[in-house]
Structure 1
Amino acid sequence: MSNVILETRGLTKEFNGFTAVNSVDLQVHTGHIHALIGPNGAGKTTFFNLLTKFHAPTKGQIFYQGQEITPLKSNQIARLGLVRSFQISAVFGHMTALENVRVALQRGEGNSYHFWVPQRRLNHLNQRALQLLCEVGLETYASVLAVEMPYGRKRALELATTLALEPTLMLLDEPTQGMGSEDVDVVVELIRRVSAGRTVLMVEHNLSVVSRLCDRITVLARGAVLAEGDYASVSANALVREAYMGKEADEVHA
């Protein structure tokens, strides 16, 4: 299908006889925000690791924009526009927000590992870095060290560095993990804003976030797909409620 940007067919990962991901068929449609949810140990992060080739699949295939990418390496996949963020904020604490984004922009020029270069050689990246900070609401933090930023702002900074890599498909791993409600609201609006013209696949435990953001939801349990659909249909599924949502689903659905 032409509107499917990412597809897995029978994707499976076994570790010493334990099946962490079990024959998962998934289709992510262009322009959608698609959530992957499930209880702890359901295989969500392992599935992300397979997509970005931190793990090699035991069997199965991965297709991106109609091209099979199963044999590719992590850096090759990122260059295609499939870019991932992680559960733990991954920014350089003793660099400013602008410098963090500038490092990500350097990657596009092939010199991201050249940290010790004269400032003047990087100034041409400043305008684009500031634009990206503005896009995630961090324009006033440009000169602030990342280590001094509130946690929610660090996650926004990580989102800016992800955008610097010009992703077509963004993989967000627990983007609101560890946040208070105020920061969650900010990040939800940021994801909604930056998803314009892009596709997002996200792992997320916060069901309120999922209900507010996502076009489609896939539920994993014991490594396999348990259910799929929009939030209303998934939250009403008795098997899903038993396996994962339980009382929390009743509260959110109400």
Structure 2
Amino acid sequence: MSDQYVLETRSLVKEFKGFVAVDDVNLQIQKGHIHALIGPNGAGKTTVFNLLTKFLIPTRGQILFKGEDITPMKSAAIARKGMVRSFQISAVFPHMTALENIRVALQSFEGSSFSFWKSGASLNRLNKRAMELLDSVGLTEFANTMTVELAYGRKRALELATTLAMEPEILLLDEPTQGMGTEDVDRVVELVRKAAEGRTVLMVEHNLSVVSKLCDRITVLAQGSVLTEGDYEAVSADPRVREVYMGTGSSGERGAVTAEEAAQ
């Protein structure tokens, strides 16, 4: 493995009772890049994410993080090493304030979730860092707002902040803009770009407009296998990508798939 790759998979396979959901997938995620996994529904994107974070066990193959084989490790151990995942569905506590949600994440990261006897000074230290994280995602004014009262886009921003509280070296984002309107999408694009400073991001994203704005490299999956890989210009012009996204057929009558088309 080259030092430039923070995450690799080697011949990764996942079978479910004879059905091959992920078939010989080889990924190389370069340090400092925003890398996207894209593909039509059922392509295997989320299954790959589940394998990387050990919510599923690979049938065959290896997963390497900074050169270390983490295939046998459990989810919690992988997160402690610095590979942290944010889910499709907002995973914050709805009946806690935004500040309280961040503090829970910080306490969990520090291993002090149940240390109720800690001093007030310790809690104040957590509050300071929690406010810094809220500020980083533009939620300072909502610190004392109950999460259930936040708009959907702000809930996703809060979820990103709780993920950043884990101080990830590589951040895995699963459909960060799913279900959002244009204004919220634009906000999240900027948040992801900011979150990527000084770290690596691997993201699953259907909206190719988002991918075109953010990603250094794109891997296209189809039927569980890697179809092609490259930058946005190369991938969007590939006739095989047009085929799996748009059903153009072999005649190639349509032009390159555009961000606007694929975002529909």
Q: TM-score, structure 2 length as denominator?
A: 0.92
Q: Which stretch of the first structure deviates more once superposed, 121-130 or 152-161?
A: 121-130
Amino acid at match of 2:155: K
Instruction: Give the whole-Å Cα distance in 2 for the aligned partners of 1:167 and 1:118.
Output: 25
Deviation at 1:124, TM superposition (A): 2.4
Per-residue deviation at 1:115? 8.6
- Structure 1 partner of 2:257: 249
Q: CA RMSD in A?
A: 1.7
2-structure distance, mates of 1:116, 1:220: 47
Aligned residue for 2:27, secondary structure, equals strand
How far apart, in 2, do the equivalents of 1:175 and 1:108 lie?
A: 22
Equivalents in 1 of 2:258, 2:72: separation in Å? 42
Q: Runs of at least 4 residues of structure 1 off by over 4 A?
A: 115-119, 245-248
Distance in 2 between the 1:250 and 1:127 partners?
Answer: 44
After superposing the two structures, state which structure 1 stretch, 115-124 or 136-145, moved more.
Answer: 115-124
- 1:111 maps to what in 2? 112
SS at match of 1:72: coil
State the match for 1:52 in structure 2: 53
Change (3 A) 1:14 1:201: same
Aligned length: 252
**TM-aligned CA deviation for residue 95 of structure 1:** 0.4
Deviations 1:92-128 (A, max 9, x none): 000000000000000122122x297789463320000
- Structure 1 gap ranges (5+): none
Residue matched to 2:182: 181
Output the amino acid matched with 1:41.
G
The answer for the alignment partner of 1:32 in structure 2 is 33
Give the residue type in structure 1 aligned to 2:54.
K
> Over residues 159-207 of structure 1, what are the superposed CA-to-partner deviations in whole Å (9 max), with x where a residue is unaligned?
0000000000000000000000000000000100110000000000001
SS in 2 for 1:249: coil
Deviation at residue 252 of structure 1 after TM alignment? 3.6
Q: Secondary structure at the match of 2:180?
A: coil
Q: Counterpart amino acid of 2:123?
A: L
Q: Deviations over 1:204-246 (max 9, x none)?
A: 0001000000000000000000010000000000011110256
- Distance in 2 (alpha carbons) for counterparts of 1:167 and 1:250: 32
Letter in 2 for 1:237: D
**Conserved 8 A contact 2:217-2:229:** yes
2:241, 2:257 within 8 Å by CA — same for their partners in 1?
A: no
CA contact (8 A) 2:212 2:259 kept: no
Contact 2:98 2:144 in 1 (8 A): yes
Q: Which amino acid aligns with 1:102?
A: R
- Indicate how the Cα distance of structure 1 residues 63 and 245 shifts in structure 2: closer, same or farther if over 3 A, else same: farther
Q: Quickly say closer, same or farther: Cα 1:7–1:123, change in 2 above 3 A.
A: same
Asked whether the 8 Å contact 2:5–2:29 carries over to 1, the reply is yes
Matching residue of 1:160: 161
Cα separation, 2, equivalents of 1:135 and 1:154: 14
In structure 2, distance between residues paired with 1:49 and 1:108: 21
Give the share of equivalent positions with the same residue, in percent: 66
2:69 is matched with 68
Distance across 1 between alignment mates of 2:99 and 2:46: 29
- Tell whether 2:133 aligns with 1:125: no
Q: TM-score, normalised by structure 1?
A: 0.95
Task: Give, in whole Å, the separation in 2 of the partners of 1:15 and 1:108.
Answer: 34
The match for 1:194 is 195
Mapped partners of 2:181, 2:124: distance in 1: 36
CA distance in 2, matches of 1:96, 1:51: 31
